[in-house]
């Protein structure tokens, strides 16, 4: 045997040994269907797992999927969880749930369906794509957590039915028709998530909906709220068609920015504090029932800064805000006669009362409507910082408030009304002038 032939044999033998030590080189494929009746692990060695007919994890049984595994669904198939599903990827090797089609599209497969007997299921470091209701949290008792995951290209990224719980943290929802749809009597908690390019980011139909430190960019509607109280904390909305829109909802939002959307906040009942509403093409804030705004900057909105309309006795209070440079009006009041808007103790960008009045549409422009009471007003801007994180802004406000209270008490006593308004928001801060 020649030296050349021996060399080729040795090289081939070396490559065969190297190949055997690379885990991801396995070409195995597992076709799966039917019932899983005992605790089971799907491992990388048999990946991808192709679901050719529905998979059912029985009650009391756990299916664990390890890092790097790919699960492919044939058209219309589902993974039904009556027990527990643990999708356990990591930052380097995610678990992927996807379509088995060569050219995939939203709705190729059905659902990862968590039914009422499912318990303590977790999807961590996963990618879920091309489903109908990709994460389907069924009614009456399901409890699911999704962490560090990307849910994209689905008709519904997640649907939460009545009496079920979905908790989502550090996830991206992208290019879905509906990001998360939360039905009445369900519980939804969203923390540090990003919603991008969805037709609708979140649909909330239940009071138990809370959103923390999340971002909403380039969606049709970032959030739509039904007959509920929706709570939003320290979140950012930009380049959405609608930032937040509600049918008969009460919106509570604090420490947030609503900037450069087509429309800002539009709900019947709005309570907003410590936030920035600026540069929206439509109205910055629009309501037709109750309104409370404190410690906000509302500027450069193109179809009025604040719009009030309707015929009701609900309270409308606007205090300790910067409101100026909105087009055509800073406040456009179409509340019918007898229901005035209390907009005292704000900075209007000027001390020229004639100019302030020109930027307010109310009783003095059409006697059918009620008045906007803007005096007394602030003689200097309220301190609202746009350049820092919400947490830092709140900390700065708290420090400033303490200093101002000390200084101001030395000058003259503060009215009970002013005290109560300052106490409403931990980030209230500045001197108050008559």
By residue count, the chain amounts to 434
In the predicted model, is pLDDT for residue 57 greater than 60? yes
DSSP code, position 215? E
Single out the residue of 267, 428, 408 nearest to residue 345, CA to CA.
Answer: 428
Judged by DSSP in three states, 390 sits in helix
Measured distance CA(377)–CA(345) in Å, rounded: 4
Q: Poorest-confidence range of 78-82, 147-151, 169-173, 285-289?
A: 285-289
According to the model, what pLDDT value does residue 7 have? 52
Residue with tokens 């050349």: 4
In the predicted model, is pLDDT for residue 218 greater than 60? yes
In the predicted model, is pLDDT for residue 426 greater than 50? no
Q: Where are the alpha helices (DSSP H) in 260-411?
A: 353-358, 390-411
Domain ranges of the chain: 29-204, 213-434
pLDDT tier at 6, thresholds 50, 70, 90: very low
Q: Which CATH class is domain 29-204?
A: mainly beta
- The encoded tokens of residue 98 equal 């996807």
Measured distance CA(386)–CA(218) in Å, rounded: 21
Measured distance CA(53)–CA(33) in Å, rounded: 5
For 187-200, b/e burial (b = at least 16 CB within 10 A) is bbbbbebbbbebeb
Q: Across the strands, what pairs with 322?
A: 297, 347
Which pLDDT tens digit goes with each residue over 333-359?
988 777 899 999 999 999 999 999 999
3-state secondary structure 39-90: CEEECHHHCCEEEEEEEEECCCCEEEECCCCEEEECCCCCEEECCEEEEECC
According to the model, what pLDDT value does residue 26 have? 37
Which pLDDT tens digit goes with each residue over 129-149?
999 999 999 887 678 999 999
pLDDT tier at 10, thresholds 50, 70, 90: very low
Measured distance CA(418)–CA(81) in Å, rounded: 55
Measured distance CA(272)–CA(265) in Å, rounded: 10
Which pLDDT tens digit goes with each residue over 356-390?
999 999 999 999 899 999 999 999 999 865 433 34
- The encoded tokens of residue 338 equal 């007898």
**Prediction pTM value:** 0.81
According to the model, what pLDDT value does residue 3 have? 53
The percentage of residues in the chain with a pLDDT greater than 70, rounded to a whole number, is 81
In the predicted model, is pLDDT for residue 417 greater than 80? no
For residue 112, give every residue at least 6 positions away whose Cβ sits within 8 Å of its Cβ, in sequence order, or none: 78, 79, 81, 85, 97, 128, 131, 134, 135, 136
């Amino acid at each position: 045997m020649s030296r050349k032939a021996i060399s080729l044999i040795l090289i081939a033998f070396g490559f065969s040994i190297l190949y055997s030590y690379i885990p991801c080189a396995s070409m195995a494929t597992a076709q799966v269907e039917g019932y899983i009746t005992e605790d089971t692990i799907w491992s990388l060695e048999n990946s991808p797992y192709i679901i050719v007919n529905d998979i059912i994890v029985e009650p009391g049984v756990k299916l664990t999927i390890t890092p790097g595994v790919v699960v492919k669904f044939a058209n219309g198939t589902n993974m039904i969880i009556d027990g527990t599903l643990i999708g356990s990827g990591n930052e380097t090797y995610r678990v992927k749930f996807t379509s088995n089609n060569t050219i995939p599209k939203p709705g190729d497969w059905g659902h990862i369906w968590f039914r009422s007997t499912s318990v303590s299921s977790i999807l961590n470091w996963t990618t879920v794509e091309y489903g109908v209701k990709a994460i389907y949290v069924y009614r009456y008792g399901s409890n699911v957590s999704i962490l560090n995951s990307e849910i994209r290209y689905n008709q519904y990224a997640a649907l939460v039915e009545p009496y079920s719980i979905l908790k989502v943290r550090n996830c991206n929802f992208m290019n879905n028709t509906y990001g998360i749809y939360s039905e009445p009597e369900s519980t939804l908690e969203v923390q540090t998530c990003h919603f991008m390019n969805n037709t609708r980011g979140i649909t909330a139909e239940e009071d138990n909906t809370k959103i923390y430190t999340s971002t909403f960019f380039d969606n049709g509607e970032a959030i739509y709220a039904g007959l509920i109280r929706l709570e939003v904390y320290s979140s950012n909305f930009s380049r959405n068609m609608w930032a937040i829109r509600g049918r008969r909802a009460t919106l509570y939002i604090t420490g947030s920015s609503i900037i450069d959307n087509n429309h800002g906040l539009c709900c019947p009942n709005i309570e907003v504090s410590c936030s920035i509403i600026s540069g929206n093409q439509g109205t910055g804030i629009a309501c037709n029932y109750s309104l409370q705004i404190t410690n906000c900057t509302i500027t450069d909105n193109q179809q009025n800064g604040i719009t009030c309309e309707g015929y009701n006795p609900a309270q409308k209070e606007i205090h300790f805000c910067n409101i100026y440079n909105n087009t055509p009006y800073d406040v456009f009041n179409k509340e019918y006669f007898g229901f005035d808007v209390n907009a005292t103790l704000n900075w209007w960008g000027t001390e020229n009362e004639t100019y302030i009045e020109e930027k307010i549409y109310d009783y003095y422009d059409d006697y059918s409507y009620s008045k906007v009471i803007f005096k007394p007003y602030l003689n200097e801007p309220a301190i609202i910082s746009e350049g820092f994180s919400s947490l830092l802004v709140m900390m700065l406000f708290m420090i400033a408030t303490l200093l101002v209270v000390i200084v101001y008490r030395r000058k003259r006593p503060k009215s009970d009304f002013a005290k109560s308004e300052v106490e409403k928001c931990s980030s209230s801060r500045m001197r108050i002038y008559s």
